[in-house]
Homo-oligomer: A and B are copies of this chain.
Amino acid sequence: MNKKTEATSKTLADLVYQKIRTDIISGELKASEKLRLSNLCKKYDIGMSPLREALARLTGDALVVTEGQRGFWVAPLSIEELDDITNVRALLESEALQQSIQNSDEEWKDELSMAFKELTRIEGELKGRSYDLVPEWEEANKVFHEVLVSRCQSQWMKKMIKILIQQSERYRRISLTLAESKGNRNVHDEHEAIFHAAIQGNILKACRLIEVHLNLTTDNVRQVLEESI
């Protein structure tokens, strides 16, 4: 069907999987929305086979739910699940951070410093404006959190954290489209505190701080969600 799909070792199923995942997390595909296969075929310009494969994989990520012979839906959102996700994520991410700090070396500290510096730089350029939905900040924020736990040796821990972050992101992104986030919070200071504790090897403090950080983010999201329901 493609004449010379150069530089593409990926399958169409892969590509559409990523596209749909992005669209669910961004909220373009709305929570609980029915996913009609023929519509998606047109929308993503693709056949049934790769589409179904992609949806099957998204079901594994809990971004899509499916029922017998009745089709697929975007997974619903709920405040209960948001809290659940946050709790499990805090448990896993603080454990991963602990291990990461225990395995830390100079290289890690350099990487972390650079990630924090980059984040700070972007925040400076935004001069007071909200960070949310600014792509560069989103990316730098993601990198900072990834580097934090990067020295954790457990592949399974990382795999699960990845899924949970995906879920959190969906809640956060969707809450941002519903209302401007309340500015009574200094995310930069939270990051800075985590950064210093991590660099200093203060495991307990770093873990406590990251748990607080996750919970504060969730508090924001929950507030918006509660109002909008």
**Per-residue interface assignment for chain A, residues 5 to 33, with 1 indicating a CB less than 8 Å from any chain B CB and 0 otherwise:** 00001110110000000000000000000
Closest residue of chain B to A54, judged by CB?
B56
The answer to whether B81 touches A155, judged by C-beta atoms less than 8 angstroms apart, is yes
Is A59's beta carbon under 8 Å from chain B?
Answer: yes
Q: Chain A's interface: helix, strand, loop or mixed, by majority?
A: helix
* Contact present for A11 and B52 (CB under 8 Å): no
A53 to B60 Cα, complex, angstroms: 11
**A2: B residues at CB distance < 8 A:** none
Whether A176 is near chain B, meaning CB under 8 Å from some CB there, is: no
Q: How far is the CB of A59 from chain B (nearest CB, A)?
A: 7
- Please determine whether A68 and B160 come into contact, CB atoms closer than 8 angstroms: no
> Do B160 and A87 have beta carbons less than 8 Å apart?
no
Contact between chains at B53 and A11 (CB < 8 Å): no
Are A84 and B155 touching (Cβ within 8 A)?
yes
A56 partner, pick from B53, B92, B157, beta carbons under 8 A: B53
Q: Is residue A88 within 8 Å, beta carbon to beta carbon, of the partner chain?
A: yes
Chain B residues positioned under 8 Å from A91 (CB to CB)? 91-92, 95
Residue of B nearest to A58 (CB): B60
| Residue A154 interfacial (CB < 8 Å) | yes
B154 touches A88 (CB 8 A): yes
Of B49, B57, B84, B164, which one neighbours A57 at CB under 8 angstroms? B57
Interface residues, chain A, CB within 8 Å of chain B?
Answer: 9-11, 13-14, 49, 52-54, 56-57, 59-62, 68-69, 81, 84-85, 87-88, 91-92, 95, 153-157, 159-160, 164
- Which 8 A/B pairs are nearest by Cβ-Cβ distance? A60-B60, A56-B56, A9-B68, A53-B56, A88-B156, A56-B57, A84-B156, A84-B154
